[in-house]
Amino acid sequence: MSTLEIRDLHVAVGDKEILRGVDLTVRSGETHAIMGPNGSGKSTLAYAIAGHPKYTITSGSVLLDGEDLLDMKVDERARAGLFLAMQYPVEVPGVTVSNFLRSAITAVRGEAPKLREFAKDLKNGMDALSIDPAFAQRNTNEGFSGGEKKRHEILQLELLKPKIAILDETDSGLDVDALRVVSEGINRFRGLDGSGEKIGSGADTGVLLITHYTRILRYVKPDFVHVFAGGRIVEEGGPELAEKLEDEGYEAYTKATA
């Protein structure tokens, strides 16, 4: 069992404060949805936790299983069990998908996976996400469509098996079919089968899902929903809160924090 604890987190970009005291706890077996309008600080939270140098943490703490993530380098945070699926995955010219993934697994585990085992896991993962096997030998994300990049992010997630996964607007730019496939991959990581029943080791993982829209939440059912506005969490609840946002939008929250 793992726990990500965020306490009174303040984050700035340059001279501008973006996060103004965020408190959040994500435990194994839980899926938390962070929802809010553009500019509310949702992605800032994701990148600050992951260690992006653009974001300066001015106060607060972030602990993973009692260890201070803020004292760790980016690669150390990954080895500790943190994963970030980016909203805009970057291209890695000259590095094939297969080599990228095997190198990532080696870096996180501290040893290279056996080739036969890795090849089997890679094939199974690509099949499950409807990724053409030829993509294994293509340069990472180079020339990929938005949907192909997002499927590759979920492939990384399934192969790396982190303790806590932060998914930053994974549904952005996906068509209906790609959204369904990507959501199924997230649910497999959560340890859920097609009917939502627990299978495998999903109880060992936690998910922080950042999104603008409720459409992905029709496939990936959250346990908790948190509304972001003005750089902080302004309301919390269960799945019913997402339904309220679908009906009413964010205007009441943005006016309250203006």
pLDDT of res. 95: 97
| Residue 25 neighbours by CB under 8 Å, 6+ apart | 3, 4, 5, 6
pLDDT of res. 173: 84
pTM attached to this predicted model: 0.92
Domain membership of residue 44 (yes or no) is: yes
pLDDT of res. 197: 64
Domain membership of residue 96 (yes or no) is: no
**Hey, what amino acid is at 113?**
P
pLDDT tens digits for 145-194?
999 999 999 999 999 999 999 999 999 889 999 999 999 999 999 987 65
pLDDT tens digits for 92-124?
999 999 999 999 999 999 999 999 999 999 999
* Euclidean distance between CA atoms 223 and 29, whole angstroms: 9
Is residue 196 over pLDDT 70? no
If DSSP codes are grouped into helix, strand and coil, which group holds residue 50?
A: helix
* Euclidean distance between CA atoms 26 and 5, whole angstroms: 7
Range of the domain at 251: 3-90+163-257
Domain membership of residue 135 (yes or no) is: no
Domain membership of residue 247 (yes or no) is: yes
CATH classification of the domain holding 235: 3.40.50.300
* Euclidean distance between CA atoms 158 and 96, whole angstroms: 18
If DSSP codes are grouped into helix, strand and coil, which group holds residue 16?
A: strand
Domain membership of residue 125 (yes or no) is: no
Number of domains in the chain: 1
Domain membership of residue 233 (yes or no) is: yes
| Residue 15 neighbours by CB under 8 Å, 6+ apart | none
Token pair listed for 18 = 């973006």
Is residue 202 over pLDDT 60? no
* Euclidean distance between CA atoms 48 and 6, whole angstroms: 11
CB 131 within 8 A of CB 140: no
CB 147 within 8 A of CB 173: yes
Domain membership of residue 183 (yes or no) is: yes
Domain membership of residue 230 (yes or no) is: yes
Signed CA dihedral, 188, 90, 83, 76: sign only: positive
The greatest distance separating any two alpha carbons of the chain, rounded to the nearest whole angstrom, comes to: 56
